[in-house]
Structure 1
Amino acid sequence: MPSEFILYHNNRCSKSRAALSLLEERGIQAKVVRYLDTPPDLATLEELFRKLGLESVRDMMRVKDDLYKELALDNPELDNHALLQAIAEHPALLERPILADADRAAIGRPTENLETLLPSS
């Protein structure tokens, strides 16, 4: 049975558009979540973090974004839960694009990272 893919997408982002194009080129249907319009809740973000297999939530955040600095999220005392809460409140902090299936996820920077989730062609 083929995997059900979800692409967390921002159409204004070239990397995100490239990820969508990659899926279309490969004939892969994905549920596209425009996460700025429909922000993921905390439970969804926790699941994404788990699927990404990261140690720090910062690795799935736009740490160079002005908002990250304005909210002082570089404070080393903030734990992963606090950082996930910040993304839930400010979805623009979420790195993009992220492709997820039932078990795993990958951040599409570079787009080639997504290949690890896709069936071989």
Structure 2
Amino acid sequence: MQITVYHNPRCGTSRNVLAAIREAGHEPQVIEYLKTPPSRDTLESLIARAGEGARGLLRAKEPLVRELGLDDASATDAKIIDAMMAHPILINRPIVVTPHAVSLCRPSETVATLLTVEAPAD
């Protein structure tokens, strides 16, 4: 199974998720998103596939969220995505992508559900 992890090596949860994927016998593509941020199209696709809107992948604990007014309920997905593009630190992690799902794996144990998802029946 092809797996991609948007990873921050300084984050314990991200490191735990990466270790769990490897322990399950997979070698994922690892993207250190702070060094190589996703394109806007890729970010929008991740958000759409995760199914929780831009706010679902926003790192709410980041002080910049408040500074930019993204903690306001009226902040649109477009505004949040613009901020994530300008400041990749606002993208929460780790985001795990498989052929069948995209998920923010917080807590790290949630990655187990992605590793057991089968392809949908035709």
Give the TM-score, by structure 2 length: 0.88
Alignment partners' CA distance in 2, 1:14 and 1:92:
15
**Which digits, 9 at most, give the CA deviation of each residue in 1:28-78, with x for residues without a partner?**
111000000001111111110111111x31121111211111111123332
Residue of structure 2 in register with 1:64 after alignment: 61
- Residue 32 (structure 2) pairs with residue 10 (structure 1): no
Alignment partners' CA distance in 2, 1:40 and 1:102:
18
| Equivalent residues in 2 for 1:30-41, closer than 5 Å | 30-41=28-39
Aligned length: 117
Pick from 52, 73, 77: which aligns with 2:74?
77
8 Å CA contact retained: 2:95, 2:102: yes
Give how far 1:113 is off.
1.4
Residue of structure 1 in register with 2:50 after alignment: 52
Alignment partners' CA distance in 1, 2:24 and 2:11:
20
Give how far 1:116 is off.
1.9
Alignment partners' CA distance in 2, 1:83 and 1:102:
26
Any stretches of 5+ residues in structure 2 without a counterpart? 118-122
User: RMSD across aligned C-alpha pairs, in angstroms?
Assistant: 1.4
SS in 2 for 1:117: helix
Residue of structure 1 in register with 2:26 after alignment: 28
Give the TM-score, by structure 1 length: 0.89
Give how far 1:98 is off.
0.8
8 Å CA contact retained: 1:10, 1:34: yes
